[in-house]
Structure 1
Amino acid sequence: MTTIDASPVRELNDRFRMEVDHTLGRWVITSALNAKGPLFVQRACRAVQTFTAFGPENDPFGEHDCATLTLDNEAIIWKIDTYLDAEMKYAADHPEDPKRSYRVMTVMLSSDY
C-alpha cells in the first residue's frame, strides 16, 4: 500500500484557512450563515481560522480540509475544496502545488449541509 504525504496539502490548507490567504483561493459564506448577522459571521470565521481540534475522526487523511465546530450552540461546518483554477470546473490534480490549484473555503451552518 502506498502512503501519500499529506503535509504539503495540509500546510497550504492551514495557510489559506488561518491567514485567509487570497492568493490561494476564496472563502464563501452561505446565505443561512450570513442571515445570522455580521457579528456572528465574523466570530464564525475567526473560529474557523483558529480551529485546532484535528484528529483521526474528523481529519482521516491529515489534510485539514474539513471540520465542524459549535458557536453559540450552533453547529458550523467548514470545508476546503481544491480546484484546478478559479473557474472551479475541475478538481485539482496537484492540490499540493499553489500554482496548479485554487481553494474554496465554504463556511456554513450544519443545516445547510
Structure 2
Amino acid sequence: MTATAIALLNDHARTTLTNCRLVITQGIAGLDDLEAVIERVRSFTDFTPSNDAYGEHDFGALEHGGHTVFWKFDYYDLDLLMHSPDPTDPAVTCRVLTVMLAEEY
C-alpha cells in the first residue's frame, strides 16, 4: 500500500509539476530543447520491474536527442534538511524531481 500511495503522489507531481520542486542539472539546462525534455519526463509511462523495482514511480530513463536523460524523485522534510519522515504524507514531505543527463549521475 505504501508503494502505491507514493507512486500516485509521484505520478501527480511529475505529470503536473505541482507539489514538488523541479531541479535540472547544467547538462539539461544546456540543451536547446529543454521544454521538450521536460515534456518527455512529464509524459513518461514506461515503468517496468527492471526500472521500478519498488513500484514507487520514482525513477525513469529516456533517450532524447542522442542523450540519455534520467529523472528521479527524492523525499525531504519541509525544511529540505533531511529525508522525509513519511513520503506518503504531503504535509511533511517536499518532493524534489531532478532531471539530469545520465553522465551527470
TM-score range, shorter chain: over 0.9
Matches within 5 A, 1:62-81: 62-81=55-74
* Cα displacement string for residues 8-62 of structure 1 (whole angstroms, at most 9, x for unaligned residues): 11100000000111xx22101111111113xx11111000000000011000000
TM (norm. structure 2) is 0.95
Match for residue 84 of structure 2?
92
Equivalent residues in 2 for 1:102-113, closer than 5 Å: 102-113=94-105
Q: Secondary structure at the match of 2:2?
A: coil
Identity across matched positions, percent: 33
**Of 24, 30, 33, which aligns to 2:28?**
33
Secondary structure of the corresponding residue to residue 39 of structure 2: helix
Distance in 2 between the 1:34 and 1:5 partners? 33
Structure 1 position 88, deviation (Å)? 1.4
Gaps of 5+ in 2: none
Question: Where do 4+ consecutive residues of structure 1 move more than 2 Å?
Answer: none
For 2:87, give the aligned amino acid: P
Q: TM-score, normalised by structure 1?
A: 0.88
Larger radius of gyration: 1
> Which residue is 2:8 aligned to?
11
The number of residues matched between the two structures is: 105
CA RMSD, Structure 1 to Structure 2 (Å)? 1.0
Are 2:2 and 2:88, in contact at CA under 8 Å, matched by a contact in 1? Answer: no
Give the match's secondary structure for 1:6.
helix
Q: CA separation in 2, counterparts of 1:6 and 1:31?
A: 31
- Structure 1: runs of 5+ lacking an equivalent: none
